[in-house]
């Protein structure tokens, strides 16, 4: 589990990533991602309600 979390921390999300293009994302998650703009998948996974 620790290895998987470390892998997520190493997966960078591009600065200009358009979350709107993700098909299976809730409006709540979309709003949070656009507000917080996580830099890695690890950061994104720790956003509450996502």
pLDDT in tens, 3-43: 888 999 999 999 999 999 999 999 999 999 999 999 999 99
**Segment 36-48, tens digit of pLDDT:** 999 999 999 999 9
Neighbour-count burial of 41, counting CB atoms closer than 10 A to its CB (0-12 exposed, 13-18 middle, 19+ buried): middle
> Is this model's pTM higher than 0.75 or not?
yes
- Give the C-alpha separation, 32 to 45, whole Å: 12
**In this structure, what token pair is assigned to residue 38?**
């996580």
Q: Which of 35, 45, 33 is nearest to 9 (CA)?
A: 45
């Amino acid at each position: 589990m620790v290895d998987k979390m470390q892998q997520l921390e190493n997966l960078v999300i591009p600065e200009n990533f358009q979350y709107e293009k993700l098909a299976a994302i809730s409006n709540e998650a979309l709003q949070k991602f656009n507000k917080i703009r996580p830099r890695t998948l690890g950061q994104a996974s720790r956003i509450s309600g996502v």
